[in-house]
Amino acid sequence: MNRRSGRRWGWIATACVLAGLALWGFVIEPRWVAVRVEPLGSSAWQAPPGLKVAVASDWHLTSRSAWRVNGLGRAASVVDDINAAQPDIVLLPGDFLAGSGGDESLPIEDMAVVFGRLKAPHGVYAVLGNHDWWHDGQRIAKALAAQGIRVLENASVQVPGHDLWVVGIGDHSTGHSDPMRALAGVPSEAATLVMMHDPFSLATMPRTRGLVVAGHTHGGQVSVPGHGALIVPGAAPREWAYGWISHKGRRMYVTSGLGVSILPVRFNMRPEWVMFR
């Protein structure tokens, strides 16, 4: 093989590798949903025996065909999977819709009907994300509530039959975060399931006893081995992009979520929903 032929085959090989990476990152991985199983209790508190808590964040539902990853059909399929796992409680930490309002044709009420199919004997709870507020936060909250989903914006509620409270903290990036108000009605020694959209709210949240979860970051969508997330939206540090993080004696799980934002790409960061048990 002469030098010219070798160079040509080198370009062909490079093009094939790039095409394969593009296929993986834009077509396969964004739709390859993982089901994670994580411990619900910890050394700091003992969860009620047998309790299962499902967390599914950042759905980013859209009807735009060119950028579509999650539509109503795929969301319904994930809802079926969650129901099949029989959680006792479902937490939805926001960003139900993609885009910023005016650029999507997916009806809010149709979206809410899909989430209304979630089944959990101790309730389905939600907070709103930045994309939800950019669309119409009040309308989305009303639509979810009409489907039996308890929307907790800087509010809390006791789980029926348990000495356990669900707490929802508003989105930090849109100025709705108020952790003190969210926890104001919770007894000081009570166990809590705290959800927030933007993980940065942990920085100003009082210490609690229980599970804390967040979304928003998508794990960066692209995670480079040895480096981590390329981009993390909001004020949270890059180290808070995904998984279990610790801050001043507090511990939180940041989920990679189910959808995509800006670009319909994921690499080394699969979409997921999580079962804590």
pLDDT score recorded for residue 27: 83
- Cα separation values, 224 from 34, 231, 266, 267, Å: 19, 11, 11, 8
Strand 164-169 to 272-276 pairing: unpaired
pLDDT band at 10 (very low <50, low <70, confident <90, very high): low
Q: Which residue has the tokens 């997916």?
A: 106
Q: Exposed e or buried b for every residue in 223-235, given b needs 16+ CB within 10 A?
A: beeeebbeebbbe
pLDDT at 11 over 90: no
Q: How far apart are CA 79 and CA 240, in angstroms?
A: 27
Q: Which residue has the higher pLDDT, 189 or 202?
A: 202
Q: Express each pLDDT in 54-77 by its tens digit.
A: 999 999 998 876 567 888 999 999
pLDDT score recorded for residue 1: 57
pLDDT score recorded for residue 52: 97
Q: What is the pTM of this model?
A: 0.93
Single-letter code of the amino acid located at 150? R
Q: Closest Cα to residue 188, out of 212, 208, 213, 164?
A: 208
pLDDT score recorded for residue 28: 87
Q: Express each pLDDT in 213-239 by its tens digit.
A: 999 999 999 999 988 898 889 899 999
Q: Express each pLDDT in 98-136 by its tens digit.
A: 988 765 557 899 999 999 999 999 999 999 999 999 999
Q: Which domains does the chain have, with CATH numbers?
A: 32-276 (3.60.21.10)
First-to-last CA distance in the chain? 60
Q: Express each pLDDT in 142-195 by its tens digit.
A: 999 999 999 999 999 999 888 899 999 999 999 999 999 999 999 988 999 999
Inter-helix orientation angle 72-84/108-115, to 10°: 20
pLDDT score recorded for residue 38: 97
